[in-house]
Amino acid sequence: MKSRRTLLVRTGHGSAGASSVPGLPEFPSEDPAVRQAPRPEEPRSDESVRPPMPLDPPDLPPVAAPLVPAMPAVPAMPVAPAAPVLPAVPGIPAMPAEPPAVPAPSYPEAVMTTGTSPAFRPLFSDAPGLNWAGPGDSWSDAWAVQAPVEHRPEAGPALPVGGQPAPAVELPLTARDIELIRASLAVVEPVADRATAHFYALLFLQHPEVRSLFPAAMDVQRDRLFRALLDAARGAEDPVALTAKLGGLGRGHRRYGTLTGHYAPVGECLVQALARYAGARWDAETELAWRRAYRLISSIMIEAAEEAARTSPPWWQGEVVRHERPARDVAVITVRPDQAYPFRAGQYTSLETPWWPRVWRHYSFATAPRPDGLLTFHVKAVQAGWVSNALVHRAAPGDVLRLGPAAGSMTVDHTAGGDLLCLGGGTGIAPVGALVEEIAGHGAPGRRVEVFYGARRAAELYALDGLRELARVHPWLTVRPVLSGTGPAEGALTGELPEVVGRFGPWADREAVLSGPPAMVRRGVGVLLRAGVPAERIRHDLVGDLAAG
DSSP 237-267: T-HHHHHHHHHHHHHHGGGGT--GGGHHHHH
Look at residue 252 in the predicted model and tell me its pLDDT. 84
Q: What percent of the chain has pLDDT over 70?
A: 65
Residue type, 288: L
Q: How many other CB atoms are there within 10 angstroms of residue 488's CB atom?
A: 10
Residue 320 pLDDT > 90, yes or no?
A: yes
**Closest listed residue to residue 430, CA positions, set 92, 88, 44:** 44
Highest mean pLDDT among 147-156, 423-432, 505-514: 423-432
Task: Yes or no: say if 484 and 455 are a contact pair by the CB < 8 Å rule.
Answer: yes
Report the pLDDT value the prediction gives residue 529, as an integer from 0 to 100. 95
Q: pLDDT (tens digit, 9 = 90+) per residue, 493-518?
A: 999 999 999 999 889 999 999 999 99
Q: Give me the pLDDT at residue 523, please.
A: 95
Q: What's the length of the chain?
A: 549
Burial group, residue 116, by CB count within 10 angstroms (0-12, 13-18, 19+): exposed
Looking at the predicted structure, is the pLDDT value of residue 141 above 50? no
**Residue 475: Cβ within 10 Å count:** 9
- Give the CA distances from residue 418 to residues 36, 275, 369, 432, 446, in Å, rounded to whole numbers and listed in that order: 48, 51, 22, 16, 8
Going edge to edge, which strands form the sheet with 449-455?
493-494, 477-483, 449-455, 420-425, 511-515, 538-540
pLDDT of 131 strictly over 50: no
Q: Dump pLDDT digits (tens) for 35-94.
A: 444 444 444 444 433 334 334 443 434 433 333 334 444 444 444 444 444 444 455 555
Domain ranges of the chain: 149-309, 420-548
Report pLDDT for 167. Answer: 64
Q: Give residue 142's pLDDT.
A: 34
What is the percentage of the chain residues whose pLDDT exceeds 90?
A: 43
Is the model's pTM score more than 0.75?
no
pLDDT band, very low/low/confident/very high, at 209 (cuts 50, 70, 90): confident
149-309 maps to CATH 3.10.20.30:
no
**pLDDT tier at 145, thresholds 50, 70, 90:** very low
So what's the pLDDT on residue 14? 36
CB 472 within 8 A of CB 115: no
Most confident among 73-82, 134-143, 210-219, 357-366 (mean pLDDT): 357-366
Instruction: Categorize the per-residue pLDDT at 101 as very low, low, confident or very high, splitting at 50, 70 and 90.
Output: very low
Taking 60 as the threshold, does the pLDDT of residue 403 lie above it? yes
CA distance 357 to 351: 10
Average pLDDT taken over every residue of the chain: 74
Asked if 350 and 549 touch (Cβ cutoff 8 Å), the reply is yes
Alpha carbons 278 and 280: distance in angstroms, whole number? 6
**pLDDT per position as a tens digit, 406-421:** 988 899 888 877 899 9
- Spatial distance between the Cα atoms of 49 and 427, rounded to a whole number of angstroms: 9
Distance CA 334, CA 466 (A): 16
The yes/no answer on whether domain 420-548 falls in CATH 3.30.565.10 is: no
Task: Report phi then psi at 477, rounded to 5.
Answer: -105, 130
* Omega before 506 within 30 of 0, i.e. cis: yes
**Which residue type sits at 77?**
M
Q: 213, 162, 222, 214: which is closest to 192 by C-alpha?
A: 222
Q: What's the CA gap between 533 and 417, in Å, rounded?
A: 17
Strands 493-494 and 477-483, sheet pairing: parallel
**Whether residue 433 has pLDDT greater than 90:** yes
Question: Quick one: pLDDT at residue 158?
Answer: 53
